[in-house]
């Protein structure tokens, strides 16, 4: 008996072990067992998941999350954007290529003011993310254009938080439709590249809330991104990645974000503070970060609840990814179809700045003298992590020829030779010419005189490039170089002498000075950095195959120093306050201009600009009907009918600005609160546009009360073709003031 019972007990123990062993062995991550997985993870596995590893990465990927095979947790892959997927196009051991489509950059896309177009573009982009085997594209980049010189402005959208936020939300929706994720970046106030890793952005709560966080708020609420990337910089003394108020109180508690926050790429002291603040993932990840977290768990500096909260967020992210689904990616996205999407996107986003005497469109059979080294070395995208490895970027010479124009061959050959010489020299001396300073070849006055006789028109292509890690300069960058100015002058004098027109194409990454030279030329076309197919779209616009419908997403000031932020943008210090050779202290940047950024400043203070925010011409004209505005306590709904009164089909963007009643907080003269773009209207055709604005969206941030407040009183509603060209107005009375206190409602203490 005794023996039997011993045997039985032994069997029971064995069975128990077997079951436990089986449970352990079979416990693999599922959508519905995240808590069980958390329970089964060792502390080493947990901190491992909170720190990226960069092992076994896809060539060209930026980072990853660590796999835990015993629990069925796959590695997930993070790759850069935002103008397309940024991966290595070639890999060892295969002839296959992995090129991606270079779509128009952020500023170009924002100039379309077309959120549906943005979603259409990123639906295609997201397909490349999926089919090349990535899980997240590290995009959209959406810091505001605080100052024209920020080197990454091309990745970003606008000086206005509403336009920026709506574009970013559409970006996120399009990408994520594919079952892959986005990372809205760089959260927040990463508005300069100089000392970007350490700079302290000193900003008032009001400017933060109304401008630098507002666009993120819209993107998070309306796009629901899987991830957010905290920025390198500090805000008011703390690194953003370590600021609990920013990452938890505002982002999660107020806005309802439920994804993961990852750091921008680099190790900082304070890993533990970051994890506690709600920064779930450290990227690209270094062993020291795991060591710090482990030590903090052991010392009690961080609680298991805090570690588990972050790990849980990451597991919830992982179960959404293609790697978790074991998606069999093809490595063969339809690049041809996506090229067509990129071209269509550029067509809808090019801004026509000037068109005297209907210089444009051309007939298409003109003989064109194409000037400028950028006509050969066209900039599709900027540099840095925002670059995309495309198989080809069309240049203006090839695009104009493809569109049927006849080029002045000698001139075209001259630029090709200059470019070839420059690139050969670069290769020979091994020190590549910085693309930003590619020398503009000179063309003699004599040659221009002859060309003006031989050709029908002149098209001058001017280029500017920039990217991550450096801001632009005023001299020879925001302003034209002396060679460019001379070229414009000589071309303009000689062609005009012959009764011929001069056009300029601005293939630029950010705002430049236009006031001093725009009167020399007849037409200016602004495609920004429009992606791999951009040059073709420019040719289509020049020819009139496409009617331009883009509008400026930022103000083009007369002088650089007109923008109030310029007084505190580090670059200018030498010019304005500094002694020669001395540098401004770039440890911090005072956002002294507060909320007075872009048109908010120019309009309110009636400062002359070269081209206002929201400006852009068309080959047709539009009339605006008398608007109707209906308000209640929820907000207001505005409708207006736009009619194409010209001779060709076109699209119009209506910008809805609101002026708040006087009294209380000082408010900008007008603020963009909604916008809408018509479909392609044939001559005579009309469309009624409806725009809704909620009471919350009308609010300003009152620091004293720590609350969003919408005052009672009479609101002016302006329907503009730009921030200065108001075509129709209406007003309504908002009967009862409303407020949204961010403490009381959310119980989040202010730091
Ligand atoms: C950039 C990010 C980028 C990351 C990964 C950083 O230096 O600021 O925008 O996503 O690198 O490449």
Does position 4 have pLDDT exceeding 60, yes or no?
A: no
Ligand 1 contact via 62 beta carbon (within 6 Å): yes
Distance of CA 195 from the midpoint of ligand 1 (Å):
14
Distance of CA 348 from the midpoint of ligand 1 (Å):
28
Of the residues 156, 232, 265, 467, which should be mutated to test ligand 1's pocket, given the most ligand atoms within 8 Å of the CB?
Answer: 265
| Beta bridge partners of residue 733, listed in sequence order | 714
Ligand 1 contact via 385 beta carbon (within 6 Å): yes
Q: Whose CA is nearest to atom 9 of ligand 1?
A: 385
User: At residue 691, what are phi and psi to the nearest 5 degrees?
Assistant: -130, 135
Rounded to an integer, the average pLDDT of 125-133 is 98
Catalytic residue, chosen from 264, 377, 522, 540, is 264
Of the residues 57, 58, 138, 184, which should be mutated to test ligand 1's pocket, given the most ligand atoms within 8 Å of the CB?
Answer: 138
- 236: Cβ–Cβ under 8 A, 6 or more apart, which residues? 200, 201, 202, 203
Ligand 1 contact via 187 beta carbon (within 6 Å): no
Q: How confident is the model at residue 423 (pLDDT cuts 50, 70, 90)?
A: confident
**Complete domains list, the chain, with CATH:** 3-325 (3.20.20.300), 351-565 (3.40.50.1700), 620-741 (2.60.40.10)
Instruction: With H, G, I as helix, E, B as strand and everything else as coil, classify residue 562.
Output: helix
Distance of CA 557 from the midpoint of ligand 1 (Å):
29
What pLDDT is attached to residue 431? Answer: 55
Token pair of 446 as six digits: 């004599």
What pLDDT is attached to residue 25? Answer: 57
Mean pLDDT estimate for the chain? 93
Distance of CA 327 from the midpoint of ligand 1 (Å):
26
Distance of CA 266 from the midpoint of ligand 1 (Å):
9
Closest ligand 1 atom to residue 185 Cα is: 9
CB 134 within 8 A of CB 80: no
Closest ligand 1 atom to residue 81 Cα is: 10
Give the per-residue SS3 of 239-275. Answer: EHHHCHHHHHHHHHHHCCCCCEEECCCCCCCCHHHHH
Q: Helices 287-299 and 304-318: crossing angle, nearest 10°?
A: 140
Rounded to an integer, the average pLDDT of 432-448 is 84
Q: Would residue 477 show up in a list of annotated catalytic residues for this protein?
A: no
Rounded to an integer, the average pLDDT of 182-188 is 98
Distance of CA 379 from the midpoint of ligand 1 (Å):
20
CB 631 within 8 A of CB 734: yes
Does position 14 have pLDDT exceeding 80, yes or no?
A: no
How far apart (Å, rounded) are the C-alpha atoms in residues 320 and 140?
19
Closest ligand 1 atom to residue 80 Cα is: 10
How far apart (Å, rounded) are the C-alpha atoms in residues 46 and 304?
10
CB 715 within 8 A of CB 698: yes
Distance of CA 365 from the midpoint of ligand 1 (Å):
45
What pLDDT is attached to residue 430? Answer: 59
Does position 425 have pLDDT exceeding 80, yes or no?
A: no
Which uninterrupted H or E stretch holds 337? helix 335-347
Ligand 1 contact via 143 beta carbon (within 6 Å): no
Rounded to an integer, the average pLDDT of 74-87 is 98
Residues of the chain above pLDDT 90, percent? 88
Residues of the chain above pLDDT 70, percent? 92
Tokens 């998606």 belong to 327
Ligand 1 contact via 264 beta carbon (within 6 Å): yes
What pLDDT is attached to residue 620? Answer: 98
Q: How confident is the model at residue 432 (pLDDT cuts 50, 70, 90)?
A: low
Distance of CA 186 from the midpoint of ligand 1 (Å):
9
How far apart (Å, rounded) are the C-alpha atoms in residues 3 and 5?
6
Closest ligand 1 atom to residue 386 Cα is: 9
Ligand 1 contact via 185 beta carbon (within 6 Å): yes
How far apart (Å, rounded) are the C-alpha atoms in residues 658 and 698?
8
Closest ligand 1 atom to residue 284 Cα is: 5
Ligand 1 contact via 156 beta carbon (within 6 Å): no
Distance of CA 469 from the midpoint of ligand 1 (Å):
10
Does position 88 have pLDDT exceeding 50, yes or no?
A: yes
Ligand 1 contact via 193 beta carbon (within 6 Å): no
CB 397 within 8 A of CB 376: yes
Lowest mean pLDDT among 392-401, 466-475, 706-715: 466-475
Token pair of 199 as six digits: 């700079």
pLDDT per position as a tens digit, 481-521: 999 999 999 999 999 999 999 999 999 999 999 999 999 99
Q: Whose CA is nearest to atom 7 of ligand 1?
A: 265
Q: Whose CA is nearest to atom 2 of ligand 1?
A: 264
Ligand 1 contact via 283 beta carbon (within 6 Å): no
Does position 10 have pLDDT exceeding 60, yes or no?
A: no
Ligand 1 contact via 138 beta carbon (within 6 Å): yes
What pLDDT is attached to residue 704? Answer: 92
pLDDT per position as a tens digit, 635-679: 999 999 999 999 999 999 999 999 999 988 999 999 999 999 999
Q: Whose CA is nearest to atom 8 of ligand 1?
A: 264
What pLDDT is attached to residue 9? Answer: 43
pLDDT per position as a tens digit, 551-604: 999 999 999 999 999 999 886 544 444 445 555 678 999 999 999 999 999 999
What pLDDT is attached to residue 583? Answer: 59
Of the residues 106, 196, 264, 388, which should be mutated to test ligand 1's pocket, given the most ligand atoms within 8 Å of the CB?
Answer: 264
Of the residues 194, 232, 385, 471, which should be mutated to test ligand 1's pocket, given the most ligand atoms within 8 Å of the CB?
Answer: 385
- 238: Cβ–Cβ under 8 A, 6 or more apart, which residues? none
Distance of CA 334 from the midpoint of ligand 1 (Å):
27
| Beta bridge partners of residue 470, listed in sequence order | 467
Closest ligand 1 atom to residue 63 Cα is: 5
Distance of CA 27 from the midpoint of ligand 1 (Å):
35
Which of 701, 597, 634 is closest to 254 using CA atoms? 701
- The string over 279-304, giving b where at least 16 C-beta atoms fall within 10 Å of a residue's C-beta and e elsewhere, is bbbbbbbbeebbebbbebbeeeebee
Q: Strand order in 588-590's β-sheet? A: 238-239, 234-235, 200-202, 588-590
Q: Whose CA is nearest to atom 11 of ligand 1?
A: 265
Rounded to an integer, the average pLDDT of 210-227 is 98
What pLDDT is attached to residue 265? Answer: 97
User: At residue 164, what are phi and psi to the nearest 5 degrees?
Assistant: -60, -45
What pLDDT is attached to residue 55? Answer: 87
CB 716 within 8 A of CB 659: yes
Report the largest interatomic distance among the alpha carbons of the chain, rounded to a whole angstrom: 120
How far apart (Å, rounded) are the C-alpha atoms in residues 134 and 157?
24
Closest ligand 1 atom to residue 139 Cα is: 10
Of the residues 60, 62, 84, 136, which should be mutated to test ligand 1's pocket, given the most ligand atoms within 8 Å of the CB?
Answer: 62
| Beta bridge partners of residue 622, listed in sequence order | 644
Distance of CA 728 from the midpoint of ligand 1 (Å):
43
Ligand 1 contact via 265 beta carbon (within 6 Å): yes
650-655-658 Cα angle (round to 5): 165
Q: Whose CA is nearest to atom 3 of ligand 1?
A: 385
Q: How confident is the model at residue 445 (pLDDT cuts 50, 70, 90)?
A: very high
Q: Whose CA is nearest to atom 6 of ligand 1?
A: 265
CB 373 within 8 A of CB 411: no
Q: Is 206 exposed, middle or buried (0-12, 13-18, 19+ CB in 10 A)?
A: middle
Ligand 1 contact via 701 beta carbon (within 6 Å): no
């Amino acid at each position: 008996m005794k023996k039997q019972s011993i045997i039985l007990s032994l069997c029971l123990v064995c069975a128990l072990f077997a079951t436990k062993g089986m449970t352990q062995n079979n416990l693999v991550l599922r959508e519905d067992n995240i808590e069980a997985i958390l329970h089964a993870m060792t502390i080493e596995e947990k901190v491992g998941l909170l720190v990226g590893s960069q092992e076994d990465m896809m060539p060209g990927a930026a980072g990853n999350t660590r796999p835990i095979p015993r629990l069925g947790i796959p590695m997930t892959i993070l790759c850069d954007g935002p103008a397309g997927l940024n991966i290595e196009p070639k890999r060892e051991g295969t002839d296959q290529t992995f090129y991606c489509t270079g779509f128009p950059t952020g500023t170009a896309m924002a100039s379309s003011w077309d959120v549906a177009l943005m979603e259409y573009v990123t639906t295609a982009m997201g397909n490349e993310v999926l089919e090349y085997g990535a899980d997240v594209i590290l995009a959209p980049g959406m810091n505001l254009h605080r100052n024209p010189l920020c080197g990454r402005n091309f990745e970003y959208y606008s000086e206005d938080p509403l336009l920026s936020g709506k574009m970013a939300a559409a970006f996120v929706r399009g990408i994520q439709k594919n079952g892959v994720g986005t990372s809205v970046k760089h959260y927040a106030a990463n508005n300069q590249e100089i000392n970007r890793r350490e700079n302290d952005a000193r900003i008032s709560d009001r400017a933060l809330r109304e401008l630098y966080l507002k666009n993120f708020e819209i993107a998070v609420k309306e796009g629901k991104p899987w991830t957010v990337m905290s920025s390198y910089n500090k805000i008011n003394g703390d690194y953003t990645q370590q600021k609990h108020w920013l990452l938890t109180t505002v982002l999660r508690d107020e806005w309802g974000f439920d994804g993961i926050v990852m750091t921008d790429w680099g190790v900082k002291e304070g890993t533990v503070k970051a994890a506690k603040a709600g920064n779930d993932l450290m990227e690209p990840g270094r062993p020291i970060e795991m060591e710090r977290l482990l030590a903090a768990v052991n010392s009690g500096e961080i609680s298991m609840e805090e570690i588990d909260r972050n790990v849980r967020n990451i597991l919830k992210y992982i179960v959404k990814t293609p790697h978790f689904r074991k998606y069999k990616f093809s490595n063969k996205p339809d690049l041809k179809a996506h090229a067509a999407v990129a071209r269509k996107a550029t067509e809808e986003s090019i801004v026509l700045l000037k068109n005297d005497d209907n210089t444009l469109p051309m007939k298409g059979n003109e003989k064109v003298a194409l000037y400028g080294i950028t006509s050969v070395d066209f900039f599709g995208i900027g540099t840095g992590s925002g670059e995309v490895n495309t198989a080809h970027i069309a240049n203006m010479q090839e695009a104009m020829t493809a569109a049927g124009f006849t080029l002045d061959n000698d001139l075209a050959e001259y630029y090709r030779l200059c470019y070839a010489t420059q690139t050969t020299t670069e290769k020979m001396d091994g020190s590549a010419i910085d693309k930003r300073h590619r020398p503009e070849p000179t063309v003699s006055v004599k040659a221009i005189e002859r060309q003006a006789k031989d050709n029908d028109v002149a098209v001058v292509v001017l280029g500017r490039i920039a990217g991550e890690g450096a801001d632009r300069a005023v001299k020879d960058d925001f302003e034209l170089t002396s060679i460019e100015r001379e070229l414009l002058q000589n071309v303009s004098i000689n062609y005009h002498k012959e009764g011929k027109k001069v056009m300029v194409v601005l293939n630029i990454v950010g705002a430049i000075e236009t006031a001093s030279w725009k009167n020399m030329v007849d037409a200016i076309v602004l495609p920004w950095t429009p992606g791999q197919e951009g040059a073709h779209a420019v040719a289509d616009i020049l020819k009139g195959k496409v009617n331009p419908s883009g509008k400026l997403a930022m103000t083009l000031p007369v002088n650089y120093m007109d923008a109030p932020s310029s007084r505190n943008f580090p670059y200018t210090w030498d010019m304005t306050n500094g002694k020669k050779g001395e540098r401004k202290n770039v440890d911090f940047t005072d956002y002294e201009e507060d909320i007075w950024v872009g048109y908010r400043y120019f309009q309110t203070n009636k400062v002359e600009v070269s081209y206002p925010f929201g400006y852009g011409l068309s080959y047709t004209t539009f009339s605006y009907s008398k608007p109707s505005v209906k308000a209640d306590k929820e907000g207001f709904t505005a409708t207006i009918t736009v009619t194409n009164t010209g001779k060709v089909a076109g699209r119009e963007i209506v910008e809805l600005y609101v002026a708040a009643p006087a009294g209380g907080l000082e408010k900008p003269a007008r603020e963009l609160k909604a916008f809408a773009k018509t479909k392609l209207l044939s001559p005579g055709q009309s469309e009624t546009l409806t725009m809704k604005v909620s009471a919350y969206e009308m609010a300003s941030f009152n620091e004293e009360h720590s609350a969003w407040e919408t005052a009672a009183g009479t609101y002016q509603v302006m329907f503009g073709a730009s921030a200065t060209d108001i075509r129709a107005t209406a007003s309504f009375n908002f009967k009862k003031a409303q407020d949204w206190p961010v403490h009381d409602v959310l119980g989040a203490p202010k730091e």
